[in-house]
Structure 1
Amino acid sequence: MNNSDLADFLVRRDDPRTFRWQWDKQLPPLPEGEIEVAAEKFALTANNITYARLGDSGRYWDFFPQADGWGSVPVWGYGHVIASRHEEIAVGERIYGYFPMSSHLRLAPEKVTARRFLDGAGHRRELPSTYNEYSRVTEPETERENPHLVLRPLFSLSFFLADWLQQQRAFGAEQILISSASSKTALGLGFMLTGADRPAGEVIGLTAPANQSFVESTGLYDTVLCYSDLDTVRRRPSVYVDISGNQGSRAAVHRHLGDDLRHSCRVGFTHWDAASPNLHEQEPDLPGPPPTLFFAPDHILARRRAWGAERLAETVRDHSARFYRHAARWLEIQSSHGPEAVEQVYREVLEGRARVDQANVLYW
């Protein structure tokens, strides 16, 4: 796709199964202080479906607003500056950060440093700053970029969730159950929780029968069980980390563990079609503690205040590098090009047909 070709992949805000392309929209002249970025490539995973599923309650639609009930699903990607009216950002620079599923993006950089800047666009000022930060890429494209694209956003969530569970001493639990154990976020969480500083004695991955062998092969959980084997889980102090969002599975865990469940944590929506998009929905009939949302940006900001930005970045980088090396054993990254590939991969991920041992990077 050429730099001059404008394309937006839009989905219905109330039904992510309905989508369309918007081509060659007219853009006003570039305002003073802004830059225009041509998107190069982005990763598309179940995490992005979570963004769409929580688009209204989590305000994910607000980052790249569209009209008439349509939304732009946020993705993590790379791009390069093709026009600049900002004195500190040059044409040709490459950046990494939060993009719409669009060929182009306009940003209003502020708080510019040698390594990063924030988008200061008015509509993003009230949104979590974690998603408004863009890294300035100072080296040419490397083979490390695609694993970084796929795994960084997911492992970031895994890291901060594990760190928070450590802070909470796992609520006194002796075991931690993680749903959607084949997902990249769950695998990253298993990697963190089964390390030397594990907060609980046993980490159990819950998965579908078709994925059990793969999940076991990663070696990232102490025990791997199918959802149908839940009744074999010991009744003892437990934490449930719900990455699937499947209401039926969540209810089964609550019913089985009852008062032994010390905390129930809602994280993701890999099973989006069996989940409620309402983050604050109460489920009063469930035994045990009410499911509570873990919102990573809040914990990231707390850690940044406590550790400082540089120590935080270094710590996440160190753990990420170790996880990436582990993931290279079991994860294959597929590269695809063009709008047809975007549609195909989006359908596969949305419908749960993507292979658990593969991930997708899409090039414009």
Structure 2
Amino acid sequence: MAEFQIRRDDLTTIRVVDTGNSEQDFTLDEGEILVKIEHFAFTANNITYGAVGDQIGYWKFFPPSDDNGEIWGILPVWGFADVVSSSSEEIPVGERLYGYFPTSHYLKLKPAMVKGETFFDASEHRSTLPPGYNMYRRVRAEKTYDPSMEHERSLLFPLHLTSFCIWDALQDANWHGVEQILILSASSKTSIGLAYALAEDDNAPSIIGVTSNRNCEYVENLKLYNGTVSYDDLSSIEDIPTVIVDMSGNKQLLASLHNQLGDNMKYTINVGMTHWEDFQNDAEGIIANRSEFFFAPGHIQKRIADWGPAEFNKRSGTFMYKAALKSKDWLSCTVANGLESLQEHFKDVSKGNFAPDQGLIIKL
């Protein structure tokens, strides 16, 4: 067994650690299961987990097996796994699961609140963490489960769930009374998911994709945005009441837009960090009192309380499945074998060098 680890204080330093464990070395307490992770997606979103790991608790999900000094961490990823050993009466060997996993070969879980299609991990160290990340789906019990969509599901469902929640929050706030929505890092998969939702909403304001010069043609060809602007041409953005949805995390870029729009910058939603290196850099001019960090699990809990779990799953699940099907037209998956291959691709993903129409799947 091996683990892909990253330094918590330096997200450019990585290593693969051989823990020396095999499947037979794991012992299970009553009610526990052991899963073997089969494949997972790795995107810039996973780097975001590391950038805000201490603030939100992402480092707590999967502590490294050999690090007591909290120097190293394991980034959570979304993917598929099979149950290979079980002391649970409710989850048998052979179950296939979709959910939140570490970048390693095996994981012990303690299923609770087991239902036909889902259960929650009740491991003590995860008890205070957001419930949405502790839920696992028993995919073979799902009516809509399609094995041929597993790569798209691993890559896009976590991102498009955030997209769905942002759209829902915006329309619930009546778009903050604006005439346009700027989406920064418009080529990112979360941005494209949000654009899918906004483009289908007849009440939504005009949506403008803001991206790098090299991605402008790609964003325009998606035919989802009402306009496309490069980072080098911000002055062309119309000075009208505006919401900014920032997927980039580039504070200098954000400060420039806040200064440029002034009173017409009605609200900024900070979501991702495709430019995560700039996240901790301070920038003068950001209007903090009209900005919020968007935490999707918090919005999910709100809507589950409003709608009930079944209705939330129905609405969000329908959107994510439709969005993934649309994305098949442009998304190409690179499948790489082993944690060592993640080492090889890590720099390109973290530096934003992975083409926007590409997705990385790590198969173990």
**How would you bin the TM-score normalised by the shorter chain?**
over 0.9
Alpha-carbon shift at residue 193 of structure 1 (Å): 1.2
TM-score if structure 1 supplies the norm length? Answer: 0.93
Tell me the SS of whatever aligns to 1:356: coil
CA distance in 1 between partners of 2:48 and 2:335 (Å): 22
Tell me the SS of whatever aligns to 2:41: strand
More moved, 11-20 vs 287-296: 287-296
Query: Where does residue 117 of structure 1 map in the other structure?
Result: 119
Query: Where does residue 252 of structure 1 map in the other structure?
Result: 256
* Residue among 4, 7, 25 paired with 1:12: 7
* Residue among 25, 29, 32 paired with 1:31: 29
CA distance in 1 between partners of 2:312 and 2:301 (Å): 10
1:26-175 equivalence runs, <5 A: 26=21, 29-66=27-64, 67=67, 68=69, 69-138=71-140, 142-175=147-180
Deviations 1:159-202 (A, max 9, x none): 011000000111101100010000000011111112134432x1
One-letter code of the match for 2:266?
R
8 Å contact 2:339–2:362 — kept in the other structure? Answer: no
Deviations 1:253-278 (A, max 9, x none): 1011011111011101010111129x
The answer as to 2:194 corresponding to 1:192 is: no
Tell me the SS of whatever aligns to 2:204: coil
Deviations 1:52-99 (A, max 9, x none): 111111210011123221100000010011111111111111111000
CA pair 141-323 structure 1, distance change in 2 beyond 3 A: closer
CA distance in 2 between partners of 1:168 and 1:199 (Å): 11
CA distance in 2 between partners of 1:255 and 1:97 (Å): 41
Alpha-carbon shift at residue 284 of structure 1 (Å): 6.8
8 Å contact 1:65–1:72 — kept in the other structure? Answer: yes
Alpha-carbon shift at residue 305 of structure 1 (Å): 1.2
Deviations 1:332-361 (A, max 9, x none): 112111233211222210121111111011
CA distance in 2 between partners of 1:145 and 1:44 (Å): 14
1:217-256 equivalence runs, <5 A: 217-256=221-260
Deviations 1:280-310 (A, max 9, x none): x8x6743574431011111101111111111
Query: Where does residue 362 of structure 2 map in the other structure?
Result: 362
CA distance in 2 between partners of 1:24 and 1:358 (Å): 31
State the superposition RMSD in angstroms.
Answer: 1.7
8 Å contact 2:258–2:285 — kept in the other structure? Answer: no
Alpha-carbon shift at residue 322 of structure 1 (Å): 2.1
More moved, 11-20 vs 131-140: 131-140
One-letter code of the match for 1:136?
R
Tell me the SS of whatever aligns to 1:57: helix
8 Å contact 2:246–2:272 — kept in the other structure? Answer: yes
CA distance in 2 between partners of 1:90 and 1:341 (Å): 31
Tell me the SS of whatever aligns to 1:196: coil
Structure with greater helix percent: 2
8 Å contact 2:255–2:284 — kept in the other structure? Answer: no
- Number of equivalences: 354
CA pair 241-29 structure 1, distance change in 2 beyond 3 A: same
CA distance in 1 between partners of 2:230 and 2:285 (Å): 24
Query: Where does residue 321 of structure 2 map in the other structure?
Result: 321
Tell me the SS of whatever aligns to 1:21: strand
One-letter code of the match for 2:94?
G
TM-score if structure 2 supplies the norm length? Answer: 0.93
CA pair 288-262 structure 1, distance change in 2 beyond 3 A: farther
8 Å contact 1:259–1:287 — kept in the other structure? Answer: no
Query: Where does residue 3 of structure 1 map in the other structure?
Result: none
One-letter code of the match for 1:14?
D
CA distance in 2 between partners of 1:297 and 1:288 (Å): 22
Gaps of 5+ in 1: 1-5
